[in-house]
């Protein structure tokens, strides 16, 4: 199996890399946080001291970083990885970033004869751990076919969204819907409970009725309703509110780029910014529940 460099071992990257290891791939891993590297080294990966060290000998590079600036910083410029990788390498970039930033990195890769896919994911940390992520892929079909066995080790649904950047467009559309659903669910939970309903009873009624949605199925924001949801664990782990605010900002940029109106997304962004001002940016995005109960 091809040797892989995996860069970015946070909430998502670490369990994704772990699934590649379990599938038998040889991994060299790097993160700015040494403890994450050590964890995977303890499970059979080779620890790297830098991103440049990680890509030495790699035929495939996978990255899972927070935002556009981290991805551009890693790949572009004279010291960037694209300047060091040999032609023929496959890069699978899984972070959620601006479609424009993805296209910029694609263009630089193409110039160097490197095949690159933008392959953001959906499914949360639970999906990353279970290997059931959804990949939304932008780039050449041929590159996707090469990537498919590795994506299949980390995910269940693999969609070819379209050409360069299309994966990111699909991802920002999806996350705008997710944020709006989360906020609508949180405000309804608060209203129902304030009017005397048991949270678990209300959650189950809505889940099985026309208000049912992904947050009610998998990620209820009310503490104690779902044992494994971040809300029942002090809103720790999961998907940080500051990353959701980033994605909603990307959605607004994308809408404005194409002249679309996205008023629900705009309101969701305002509410997440309010949450960030309250110092809750590092908590899971379902902590938006607290806007409606305090």
The residue among 190 and 243 lying less far from ligand NAD, judged by its C-beta, is: 243
What is the bridge-based pairing of β-strands 121-122 and 133-138? antiparallel
Q: Which of 101, 110, 261 is nearest to 120 (CA)?
A: 101
> Can residue 15 be called a binding residue for ligand NAD (CB under 6 A)?
no
Closest by CA to 120, choosing from 69, 179, 75, 175, is 175
Distance, CA of 8 to CA of 62 (rounded, Å): 9
Which position among 4, 19, 31, 144 is part of the footprint of ligand NAD (CB under 6 A)?
31
Told to check if 114 binds ligand NAD by CB under 6 A, we report no
Q: Which stretch binds ligand NAD (CB under 6 A): 6-14, 77-85, 151-159, 265-273?
A: 6-14
- Measured from the CB atom, is 104 or 202 closer to ligand NAD? 104
Taking the complex as a whole, the smallest distance from the CB of residue 254 to ligand NAD amounts, in Å, to 15
Distance in Å from the first CA to the final CA of the chain: 53
Question: Which uninterrupted H or E stretch holds 17?
Answer: helix 13-22
Q: Is 272 in the site for ligand NAD (CB under 6 A)?
A: no
Task: List the one residue from 39, 125, 176, 215 that touches ligand NAD (CB under 6 A).
Answer: 125
* Only segment of 31-39, 98-106, 141-149, 158-166 that touches ligand NAD (CB under 6 A): 31-39
CA atoms within 13 A on the CB side of 16: 35
Q: Binding of ligand NAD at residue 239 (CB under 6 A)?
A: yes
* Least Å from the CB of residue 209 to ligand NAD: 26
Q: How far is the CB of 102 from ligand NAD (least distance, A)?
A: 11
Annotated catalytic residue 104 = no
- CB of 289 closer than 8 Å to CB of 222: yes
Q: Does 96 bind ligand NAD (CB under 6 A)?
A: yes
Residue with the shortest CB distance to ligand NAD: 10
Instruction: State the nearest-atom distance from the C-beta of 121 to ligand NAD, in Å.
Output: 5
| Angle value at C-alpha 218, between 217 and 223, nearest 5 degrees | 105
Q: Based on the shown chain and the rule CB under 6 A, indicate whether residue 65 belongs to the binding site for ligand NAD.
A: yes
Q: Single out the residue of 5, 10, 155, 203 in contact with ligand NAD (rule: CB under 6 A).
A: 10
Q: Which stretch binds ligand NAD (CB under 6 A): 61-69, 140-148, 212-220, 223-231?
A: 61-69
Residue 149 DSSP SS3 = helix
Residue 284, beta-bridge partner list: 240
Per CB under 6 A, does 124 bind ligand NAD?
Answer: yes
Residue with tokens 């994308």: 254
Helix (H) or strand (E) holding 47: strand 46-47
Residue 29: closest CA among 67, 77, 63, 79: 63
Of 171, 277, 280, 282, the catalytic one is 171
Total binding residues toward ligand NAD, as defined by CB under 6 A: 29
Which of 19, 95, 252, 286 is close enough to bind ligand NAD by CB under 6 A? 95
HSE-CB for 215 with a 13 A CA cutoff? 28
What are the two backbone dihedrals, phi and then psi, of residue 271, each rounded to the nearest 5 degrees?
A: -65, -40
Hey, what are 211's tokens?
């208000």
Which residues are catalytically annotated?
171
- Interface with ligand NAD (CB under 6 A): 7-13, 30-33, 36, 51, 64-66, 70, 73-74, 95-96, 121-122, 124-125, 238-239, 243, 247
């Amino acid at each position: 199996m091809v040797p892989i460099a995996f860069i970015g071992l946070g909430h998502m990257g670490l369990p994704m890399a772990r699934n590649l290891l379990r599938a038998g791939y040889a991994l060299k891993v790097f993160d700015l946080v040494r403890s994450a590297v050590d964890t995977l080294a303890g499970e059979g990966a080779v620890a790297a001291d830098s991103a440049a060290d990680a890509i030495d000998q790699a035929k495939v590079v996978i990255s899972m970083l927070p935002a556009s600036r981290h991805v551009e910083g890693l790949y572009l410029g004279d010291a960037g990885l694209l300047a060091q990788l040999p032609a023929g390498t496959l890069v699978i970039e899984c972070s959620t970033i601006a479609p424009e930033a993805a296209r910029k990195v694609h263009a630089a890769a193409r110039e160097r004869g490197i095949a690159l896919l933008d392959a953001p994911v959906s499914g949360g940390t639970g999906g990353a751990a279970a290997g059931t992520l959804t990949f939304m892929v932008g780039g050449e079909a041929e590159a996707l076919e090469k990537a498919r066995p590795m994506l299949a080790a980390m995910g269940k649904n693999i969609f070819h969204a379209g050409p360069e950047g299309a994966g990111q467009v699909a991802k920002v559309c999806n996350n705008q819907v997710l944020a709006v659903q989360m906020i609508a669910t949180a405000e309804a939970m608060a209203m129902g409970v304030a009017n005397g309903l048991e949270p678990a009873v209300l959650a189950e009624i809505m889940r099985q009725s026309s208000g049912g949605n992904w947050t009610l199925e998998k990620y209820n924001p009310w503490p104690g309703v779902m044992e494994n949801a971040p809300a029942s664990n002090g809103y720790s782990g999961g998907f940080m509110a500051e990353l959701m605010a980033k994605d909603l900002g990307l959605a607004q940029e994308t809408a404005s780029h194409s002249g679309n109106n996205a008023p629900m997304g705009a309101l969701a962004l305002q509410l997440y910014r309010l949450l960030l001002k309250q110092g809750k940016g590092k908590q899971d995005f379902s902590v938006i529940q607290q806007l409606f109960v305090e």
